[in-house]
Amino acid sequence: MSPLQPIHVAFRAVSKTFPDGTQALKGVSFDVARGAFCVLLGPSGSGKSTLLRCVNGLATPSSGEVLIDRQAVTDKVLPDIRRKVSMIHQQFGLVDRASVAENMMGGALAEIPTWRALLGLYPDHFKTKACELLQSVGLSPEHLQRRAGDLSGGQRQRVGIARALMLDPQIIVADEPVASLDPRISQEIMELLRQAARLRGVTVLCSLHQVALAREHADQIVGLQRGVLIFDAPVENLSDGDFSDIYDQEPCA
Ligand code: ADP
């Protein structure tokens, strides 16, 4: 296990207005402590994805800034930032027709020369690492040769987590990682993500819409509503009242 230096993430007055005039984020400011598991809650369209995408430069704030260990995320430092930040997607982000092994290597592409990747000549240490990571998420090495599209949703998200860990990220950004999984599998996947992050000292920003999972796995809850931050506190301070404020409705699991 690589001893990582946990990273601090700060959002400072982050606003985002899309070219069509949609104001997705309105002056959002908060801090995520080193190695914390921060869950973003909020109704669909409240700006969670946009905020997460600002962390790895997939979206650029119209004003304000995101700071990663005090370094502002700008175009100039994006290659460096992207080496530190891995993403886990709602729809797993895998190439379904490629093998699990090929998908896993995709997680290391930033470190593999393009010509080697095109020829499938992956360094041995990455192959070993892919096997180890796959085992750490509960999948045997035999899964490496299987087509990603043939795996179940839960298995695919296990691969998604293992893939995100290939380059030893210091931050994981997970955009509704369990939205398309059933409750039991969602619980397992969140547990896995939580354990993997804790073991490696990775700071996690994760959007969810299941408050029960947030309560169980988060250290910090951030609530967004229509692009405005309306809640930011340790998970133990989240009351049912806060939850209904965030969702503008009655609490439910
Ligand atoms: P959430 O993740 O909470 O569902 P999003 O960040 O995806 O919210 O979206 C926030 C708002 O920004 C929504 O109104 C959405 O329609 C809008 N939005 C997101 N992406 C774009 C885009 N590329 N162009 C215009 N509007 C967008």
Distance (angstroms) between ligand 1 centre and the Cα of 163 equals: 26
What pLDDT was estimated at residue 110? Answer: 65
Q: φ and ψ at 136, to 5 degrees?
A: -70, -20
Distance (angstroms) between ligand 1 centre and the Cα of 57 equals: 16
User: In 10 A of CB 114, how many CB atoms?
Assistant: 8
Task: Tell which residue, 179, 81, 195, has the closest CA to residue 136.
Answer: 195
What pLDDT was estimated at residue 4? Answer: 59
Residues 237 and 222: their CA atoms lie apart, in Å, by 11
Number of residues that make up the chain: 253
Q: Which residues of the chain have pLDDT under 70?
A: 1-4, 107-123, 249-253
Give every strand in the sheet of 63-68, ordered side by side.
23-32, 9-17, 63-68, 71-72
What pLDDT was estimated at residue 250? Answer: 44
Task: Tell which residue, 199, 126, 204, 119, has the closest CA to residue 167.
Answer: 126
What pLDDT was estimated at residue 246? Answer: 82
What pLDDT was estimated at residue 9? Answer: 97
What pLDDT was estimated at residue 195? Answer: 92
Q: 223 CB less than 6 Å from ligand 1?
A: no
Name residue, tokens 């039991």. Answer: 184
* Tens digit of each residue's pLDDT (9 = 90 or more) over 5-42: 778 999 999 999 999 999 999 999 999 999 999 999 99
> Which tokens is 124 given?
């041995």
Architecture of the 7-247 domain: 3-Layer(aba) Sandwich (3.40)
To test the ligand 1 pocket, which listed residue (49, 60, 87, 228) has its Cβ within 8 A of the most ligand atoms? 49
Residues 100 and 149: their CA atoms lie apart, in Å, by 9
Q: Where are the beta strands (DSSP E) in 22-111?
A: 23-32, 37-41, 63-68, 71-72, 85-88
- Which SS3 state, helix, strand or coil, does residue 130 take? helix
User: Ligand 1, closest atom to CA 51?
Assistant: 6
Output the CA–CA distances (angstroms, integers) from residue 166 to 23, 157, 239, in the order listed: 35, 14, 37
Minimal-distance CA residue to ligand 1 atom 23? 18
Task: Tell which residue, 7, 79, 59, has the closest CA to residue 227.
Answer: 59
Task: Tell which residue, 202, 58, 214, 191, has the closest CA to residue 136.
Answer: 191
